A and B are shown apart, each in its own frame.
Chain A
Amino acid sequence: METALTLNHFLFVSGVLFAIGLAGVLVRRNLIIIFMCLELMLAAANLTLVAFSRFNVQDGQPNYDGQVLLFFIITVAAAEVAVGLAIIVALFRTKETTDVTKVNTMKY
């Protein structure tokens, strides 16, 4: 049976994912959770890319350019996590906290 999923459905879901991620970054205080929310934003972008790629059919083929960018995003995100978690661990070792509100020694 043919499903009636359209491009808009995918864009809506990815928009919601992006909004959840952004809200998490702004609201949550634990660095690890903030980092997870950042990954969620990247996932939203990936979903958007795949959706646009799949629905942008040229000569009976999806436009694969979008899916190529997706693989680069996954790779770069992995590198970012590797560096990011290391920095968070280093911070935890010196300050014994991952709460962003306690990371505020510099003031105006």
Chain B
Amino acid sequence: MPVYYLEIIVVALGLLMLMVDAFVKLEDKRSIAWIGMLGLVVVFALLFVVKWPASTEGAFWKFYSSGDKLALYFKGIAVLTTLIVLVMAVDYTPTILAQIANPEAGAHRQAGLGEFFALPMFACAGLMWMASANNLVSIFVSLETVTIAFYIMVAYLRRNVGSLEAGVKYLILGALSTGFLVYGFAWLFGITGSMQLSEISTALAKPDINTTTALFTFGLILVALAFKVGAAPFHLWIPDVYQGAPTPITAFLSVGSKAAGFIVMLRLVSPFLASAELVGKVTLVLTVVAVLTLLVGNLAALPQKNFKRLLAYSSIAHAGFLVMALASSPRAGGNSALTPVAVIAFYLGAYLLMTLLAFLVMTSLRTKISGEDLDSFRGLAKRSPFLAFAMLVAMSSLAGIPLTAGFFGKLFVFKLAVESQHWVLLTVGLIGAAAGFYYYLKIAASMFLSDSGKGQIDLPAISVSPLAKIAMVALMVAIILAGFNPGLILGLFV
């Protein structure tokens, strides 16, 4: 089966879910999510059997890269993320219905629920397509498919002021970054005369390139991508949007949208880094962005009281580590097997596992505990040892404690910085990681230690839906296995 069938299958599944929602009389619309989940499991399995074409003749392959193991890996990330987001969305149903239901109209009591399950599928298709995009046109269209689907999902709770506010902020800043991106694309086309990434790379590597224009173009594109991945100084929207969006969508944003941004960043920044004329200045700019992002993300996370906001700053901090990896491209002549691309791919994989685990625990809690304050984690170990343990694993991995996947993610980034002799980056990265230990383990500590609070003991035990339990166990196992042997993830794309 040719590889591009996967995207077609995912889009068709999304359409099917919309059709079922519109035309089939369902008592419980949550079964629509089941169609999506089953379909995504099949697509995930198909990832291991798809074939790359023998010949890449024809117009189609100008837009779609071929023979790229990394592309398959990123497609896997997209499918897995969407799958777990759907699991969360099913658990989150009561909250959605409370915020969108229309009491006076005689509509179905679950009216408007179906789209919440179908939209992630379209975003997923966009993400998968982006993993293979090798042309400015296909990069732009796939990125916008993802972004526009996210606009709707973030603002989905249309009677909730927080969700709408997040939606508007995301809309304006997302559209602004799109503006910068296309203007950058126009200039990139102007100076290279091509839309094809490979040809752009050749054109930029020519010694007679106009460096001023090229750096201007790089600046425009970097501004746009910094918005998408949440790198400082364009990270301001992240905490608000993460806090306001429905929790499953926050998880999708923090993993899917970030992965998307970094895939595009890898593809678009590599040609600039490959050019001998530009590499010095481009690296300098990336270093400044990485330092700022690491400091802002890690230090602003320290005083946070709201768990979603904390994870938002944590996501900025992780973006800092990823940009740091990008900025530490090895000096010429370096012969390390760990390229920035491989490190970023590994880090994103590990980040997916631990962030989704944290959000899964949170969605399970959210329906039982009203708030999302850090205080609501007090004494969790007594009420639900399973959830507390899952949270502990997620937090340890996010902090980067050895024997978790997150540890190797950070280790590889630091190794890269050492090899390319970026001592400033290394120092800031270590400060950031140390700050991370404090705010991640603060949560863990409150779960296990502060159970002597008044009234907390009376709260009933928390039950977790079987589906969420399976997903959590799978993620925990993956985090710990990859913590023993990072080769398990690296082997997927190296």
Contacts and interface: CB of A to CB of B under 8 A. Distances in A.
Interface of A: 11, 14, 18, 21-22, 25, 31, 34-35, 38, 41-42, 44-46, 48-49, 51-53, 56, 58, 63, 65-66, 68-69, 72-73, 76, 79-80, 83-84, 87-88, 90-91, 94-95, 100, 103-106, 108
Interface of B: 136-137, 140-141, 144, 148, 151-152, 155, 158-159, 161-162, 164-169, 171-172, 175-176, 178-180, 182-183, 185-187, 189-190, 193-195, 239-240, 243-244
B161 A94 contact: yes
Given A69-B185, A87-B151, A105 B178 contact: no
B169 A103 contact: yes
Task: Give the 7 A-B CB pairs with smallest separation, nearest first.
Answer: A41-B179, A52-B190, A48-B186, A45-B182, A45-B183, A76-B144, A49-B186
Given A48-B186, A48-B187, A73-B182, A80 B164 contact: no
30 contacts: A21-B179, A31-B172, A34-B172, A35-B175, A38-B175, A38-B179, A41-B176, A41-B180, A44-B183, A46-B182, A48-B183, A48-B186, A48-B187, A56-B190, A63-B193, A65-B137, A69-B137, A72-B140, A76-B140, A79-B148, A84-B151, A87-B155, A87-B171, A88-B168, A91-B165, A100-B168, A100-B172, A105-B161, A106-B162, A106-B166
A48 B190 contact: yes
A101 to B, nearest CB: 12
B189 A38 contact: no
A94 B99 CA distance: 12
A105 B165 contact: yes
A41 B183 contact: yes
A83 B148 contact: yes
Nearest to B190: A52
Contacts of B195: 65-66, 68-69
A103 B165 contact: yes
Given A45-B183, A49-B189, A56-B193, A83 B176 contact: no
A38 B141 contact: no
Contacts of B165: 91, 103-106
Nearest to A63: B193
B297 to A, nearest CB: 14
Contacts, number: 132
A18 B141 CA distance: 21
Contact of B171 (A41, A49, A58, A84): A84
B137 A68 contact: yes
Contacts of B158: 90, 94
* Chain A facing B: main interface SS: helix
Contacts of A106: 162, 165-166, 239-240, 243-244
B257 to A, nearest CB: 16
Contact of B189 (A65, A88, A94, A108): A65
B424 to A, nearest CB: 28
A44 B180 CA distance: 10
B316 to A, nearest CB: 13
A53 B190 CA distance: 8
With a 10 A CB-CB cut-off, give which of B151, B176, B190 has the most chain A CB atoms.
B190
A91 B151 CA distance: 13
A87 B164 contact: yes
A65 B197 CA distance: 13
A12 B171 CA distance: 28
Contact of B155 (A45, A58, A76, A90): A90
A44 B220 CA distance: 13
Contacts of A42: 178-179, 182
A105 B162 contact: yes
B164 to A, nearest CB: 5
A47 to B, nearest CB: 8
Contacts of B148: 76, 79-80, 83
Given A72-B141, A80-B144, 12 more contacts: A41-B180, A44-B183, A48-B183, A52-B190, A56-B190, A65-B189, A66-B195, A69-B182, A76-B178, A87-B155, A91-B167, A104-B165
A91 B182 contact: no
Nearest to A93: B158
A88 B141 CA distance: 23
A43 B163 CA distance: 30
Nearest to B240: A106
Contacts of B151: 80, 83-84, 87
Nearest to B304: A108
Contacts of A72: 137, 140-141
B174 to A, nearest CB: 8
B194 to A, nearest CB: 7
B168 A38 contact: no
A34 B175 CA distance: 10
A34 B148 CA distance: 18
A73 B140 contact: yes
Contacts of A104: 165
B189 A66 contact: yes
A77 B166 CA distance: 20
